[in-house]
Structure 1
Amino acid sequence: MRRRIFLERTLTVLAALVALLLVSGVVIHLVNSGYRQRMADAMDARPAQVQSILDSWEPASDTWPELDEQLWELDYGLYVMLAGREVYSSLEPFQRDQARHAAQELSWPEDIAISFQADGIPMVGLQSGPYTILALLRPGGPGFVHRPQSEATLLALAASGVTGIAVIVLLSLLFTDRQVKQFLRPLNALTEAARRVEQGDYSQPVGTQGQDGFAEVCAAFDHMQQHLLAEREKNAAYQRARTDLVAGISHDLRTPLTSVKGYLKGLQDGVARTPERQAQYLDIAYRKACAMEKLLERLFYFSKMETGELPLHLERTDLGELVRRFVQESQEELGPKGVVLTLKGAPAPHPLRADTEQLYRVLGNLTDNAMRYAKAEHLELTLTVWRERAYERLRFADNGKGVPEEQLPHLFELFWRGDSARGSRNEGSGLGLYIVKHIIEAHGGTVSARNDGGLVFEIALPAEEE
């Protein structure tokens, strides 16, 4: 756009300069032609005739019109001064000053008419007693040609300048009008597009073409519309997922809550009469209550995470030692359920800065995910820790059936569940892996998932040098 404006302004100036040169050339040509013609007139027989008339004339105040009439036939005008005062003139106003100046400044022989030129103007003069008589060739062309040459030059330059200014103004108006129309076209399109966006219509592009700066603005506006449309669709999907989450959580809470109420009601009504039966009822109710507590804890954690009220408390720790401690504690809890946890490759130091509580939550969520979805008869979890360049890496693998390949890209999405049907005993909330991804990325790391003899999660966290 700047280049185009620069080119148009440059063309305007050049056009104005060309016009100024042309006008100046024409005016100077006219001036020179007028002076050449005046010189030619000065060389003809008329000056001698004017001299003869003036030499034979007897000055008197009442005879000037008669003398003027005779000079008029020869295309000369008359100017008479008496003692420095004008007493008669038939000259044009612009010639009177020339005649007055010549009468006052030149020396005149007594009673002898002489021909001369003053500033290129042919004149015949006579000093007769107190009278100074001048005859000037009447103008036969433009008036300014018969002025003094210096004055004629100034007038020509002034005329050229005025013409150049007029051309500049005219061309500027034309180019400005053209530029305004070019500028308003995309601006009007942007204004109309903004109105559509205000009304919620993101589907129509601005649709302007060109290589100027407005094309980039329109392209950016179209990109913004596409982004807003994608965000609206994403938010709509997010709201649907939240609605599904609320319905699912309500179902997940209702099931154990119903069980707790049922077993407690059985105890209250005396259905469990033996101590062994009562202990069984209490154990089931307790485990159901623990399941509800875990679900509510995850929802509370997600709420704090979404509102930014869950800061990380980073401290120096060793990833291998942290994983080893988690494996030992989890094996004691999950061993009776037939789950086997194995740690590999941890002896070397694996220093990093991390929030150990949050990394424990990551490992817990991955373990819970494997227990829900691995569908292995005897679940085995293998955790491998190693150093790779500037990252400490953790591999979390199970021996289950994995997940369909088309579902792998969606595992870490918020509220996403592979099986949309509720009621399965393994149905989750769609929060666990999303929380895993959030925590790992908050530590500056990455997490990915793939199938390899089961579902495998690989985590990379920035290492800290010893």
Structure 2
Amino acid sequence: MKLRLRLALTAVAVTVPAVFALVQVEHSVRRRTTDEVIIASTLSQMQSGGRERCEAAPETWMVRARSPQRPPWEREGLPGGNGGPPAGTVAPNAPSGSNGPASGGPRPGDEGPPRLRPRGPMGRRLPPVSLYPFDGQLVSRNPQAPALDDELRKGVRDDGVGVRRYSKADGALVQDLLLRMPWDGGPCEYVLARRVEPAESPEVGLPPLYVWGVPTLILLSAMVVALGPVVQRLRRLTDEVRASSGSRYAQPVTVNGSDEIAELARAFQQARAEIQARMAHQQAREQTLRDFLANTTHDVMTPLTVLQGHLAAMQQRMRAGEPLEAGLMLSAMSEAHYMASLVHNLGAAARLEAGAPQVQHAPVDLKALVSRVLGRHQPIARPQRIALESGVPATPTWVMGDETLLEQAVSNVVLNGIRYGREDGHVAVVLETTRQQTFHLRVIDDGPGISEEERSRILERRFRGNEARTREPQGQGLGLHIVHNVVELHGWKMALAPSEYGGLEVAFTGPLMSPPE
């Protein structure tokens, strides 16, 4: 469903109850005003001679007839009618010289109750109002008087006025007002005023068109005028969102104002920024994967070619029945270890470049980690007659980190000490803790070391020192670069310094954690 149609239906749904409420209010005001007019007219009628005539003949007061020749001012209920002619006028059938109204009981031939014709709200002439007298016991001596129900009795006892409205079978509305007169006693202590509205009266049906039609038209016009700019802004926002989607969310959406539509545009801007971040992250991961494949292909080919050459030479010697050279076997094993280390380093580099979400933090025991690293590198160090030594605490040393990356970082430093160390050399791993709940992990070797100038660049990716390029020309310079990234990712500190034994000392410092339960 289109927004314009939905808003139009909403306007109708709002307007119909509003018109209904307006009609009800108009009916209520009209009825209350009519009641006040009838009450005032009845009291005026009774206080202007009606009481005397009623008390003189309560049984027949309701059947007073109107003679066609009677002047209008003698008809009870007309505006200004007080039962007599204007000053200076002699009523018909009155005694000669009389200037007042005719006195006495009802005239022969009179019939029908006295009728009031007051004017109602907005000058509308009300239907005739019939009056019926009742005494203090709410009993009428006139047999034509209608019966009083409990609602009228209770209302007049409590408030001085009882009101009842009901509809007849033909649709006419009957209105009864039971009034207490401003005197006590007598057969006319209470008067019932009855008014009957015909079915076609505005009191029964809808009020005049100007009462509800004009406000309804104004309300609908105001809603149409107010909804026009809203629909235009929504269409403009829709076009901008589609244009942004077509540009892979590079084109922003205009945000104007502080209303709900502006909030919607602002929410789309936030979603657009999040989508762009996710797309950038995905592109970075794809680029990392491409780089990983390219690096793996390039970096593995060189040691693989060397290993193939060593294996081919060993095969030729075996076919010729010649003994295998220990140096050739050692070189082949070294190339195999190097390729394994290279693959591990490339995998670690891919994880690091993909970002922190790939890092899994968990409690890690550095003492056990050092033991595993040294045990794994013993087969590599033994043929080169390099001794691997360690100094660790007697109890576990717990830190929070990614165990795989931390083990790879320590392995890289130890492997560098083995690969670039001298024969009969040493590589030592020393783990210490402090009272400040920190640890110091140092990897010390007595190899050739690196110069101070090279130490400032040795952590860069693909950078290799002169000694490394001389002794291991196939290396790719990933080891210490990965170590540096792992340390930064964990919030630790790393320092490179010459060792007291002539080689290199790599130190790690970081916070300890409480032992896991």
What TM-score, normalized by structure 2, do the two folds share? 0.48
Residues 1:145 and 2:192 are matched in the alignment = no
Q: CA deviation at 1:249?
A: 0.8
Whether 2:412 is the aligned partner of 1:368: answer: yes
For the 8 Å contact 1:124–1:136, the answer to whether it is kept is no
Which of 44, 64, 69 is equivalent to 1:107? 64
* Corresponding residue number in structure 1 for 2:433: 386
The answer to whether structure 1 residue 427 and structure 2 residue 476 are counterparts is: yes
User: 245-254 or 346-355: which moved more?
Assistant: 346-355
Q: Is the 8 A contact 2:440 2:510 kept in 1?
A: yes
Instruction: Pick closer, same or farther for the CA change 1:122–1:437 going to 2, 3 Å.
Output: farther
2:514 corresponds to which residue?
A: 463
Counterpart code for 1:245: F
My pick for the range that moved more, 158-167 or 254-263, is: 158-167
| Conserved? CA contact 1:387–1:393, under 8 Å | yes
| Alpha-carbon separation, structure 2, partners of 1:238 and 1:433 | 17
In structure 2, do the counterparts of structure 1 residues 330 and 138 end up closer, same or farther at CA, with 3 Å as the change threshold?
Answer: closer
Cα deviation, 1:164-191, whole Å, max 9, x if unaligned, reads 7557645653564466456545644553
Q: Aligned partners of 1:260 and 1:450: how far apart in 2?
A: 34
Distance 1:107 1:160 in 2: 35
Structure 1 residues 31 and 238: alpha-carbon distance in aligned structure 2, compared to 1, 3 A threshold: same
> d(CA) in 1 for partners of 2:418 and 2:276?
37
* Mapping 1:116-195, distance limit 5 Å: 116-118=75-77, 120=79, 144-145=124-125, 147=127, 169-170=216-217, 172-173=219-220, 176-177=223-224, 180-181=227-228, 183-184=230-231, 187-195=234-242
Mind listing any 5+ residue stretches in structure 2 that lack a counterpart? 1-14, 46-59, 85-91, 93-105, 130-174, 176-194, 498-504
SS at match of 1:118: coil
- SS of residue paired to 1:206: coil
Alignment CA distance shift 1:298-1:156 (3 Å): same
User: Counterparts of 2:283 and 2:243 in 1: how far apart (Å)?
Assistant: 20
**Once the two structures are aligned, what percentage of the paired residues are identical?**
18
Give SS of 1:219's match.
helix
> Where does 1:235-314 land on structure 2 (aligned, <5 Å)?
235-269=282-316, 278-296=325-343
Task: Encode CA deviations 1:421-448: one digit per residue, 9 max, x unaligned.
Answer: x99633156999499959x99xxxx344
In structure 1, the gaps of 5 or more residues are: 1-11, 43-102, 412-416
Q: Which structure has more helix as a fraction of its residues?
A: 1
The offset of 1:313, in angstroms, is 13
AA aligned to 1:426 is G
Q: Does the C-alpha gap of structure 1 residues 429 and 168 become closer, same or farther in structure 2, counting only changes over 3 Å? A: farther
For the pair 1:226 / 2:185, whether they are aligned, the reply is no
Q: Which residue of 2 aligns with 1:80?
A: none
Distance change >3 Å, CA 121–CA 146, structure 1 → 2: farther
The one-letter code of the counterpart of 1:107 is: R
* Deviation, structure 1 residue 222: 1.4
Q: Residues 370 and 329 from structure 1, CA distance in 2 versus in 1: closer, same or farther, beyond 3 angstroms?
A: closer
Aligned length: 364
Higher-RCO chain (CA-CA 8 Å, sequence separation at least 6): 1
**In structure 1, C-alpha distance between the alignment counterparts of 2:212 and 2:456, rounded to whole Å:** 79
3-state secondary structure, aligned to 1:362: helix
Q: Take 1:184 and 1:177, find their aligned partners in 2: how far apart are those partners?
A: 10
Q: Give the TM-score taking structure 1 as reference length.
A: 0.52
Tell whether the 8 Å contact from 1:395 to 1:456 is kept in structure 2 after alignment.
Answer: yes
Instruction: Give yes or no for the alignment of 1:205 onto 2:255.
Output: no
- Letter in structure 1 aligned against 2:411: T
1:254-284 Cα deviation digits (max 9, x unpaired): 1112112222333445699996873322322
Tell me which amino acid in the other structure corresponds to 1:115: E
CA contact (8 A) 1:119 1:148 kept: no
Q: Distance in 2 between matches of 1:455 and 1:277?
A: 38
* Structure 1 residues 286 and 430: alpha-carbon distance in aligned structure 2, compared to 1, 3 A threshold: closer
Q: Which moved more, 1:124-133 or 1:232-241?
A: 124-133
Q: Contact conserved, 1:319 with 1:350, CA < 8 A, in 2?
A: yes
Return the alpha-carbon distance in structure 1 between the equivalents of residues 287 and 350 of structure 2: 17
Contact 1:372 1:426 in 2 (8 A): no
Deviation at 1:253, TM superposition (A): 1.6
Q: What letter matches 1:266 in structure 2?
A: A
Q: Assess, with a 3 A threshold, how the Cα gap between structure 1 residues 351 and 166 changes in structure 2: closer, same or farther.
A: farther
Matched residues in 1 for 2:271 and 2:379: separation?
Answer: 54
1:347 corresponds to 2:386: no
Partner of 2:100: none
Q: Distance in 2 between matches of 1:119 and 1:253?
A: 120
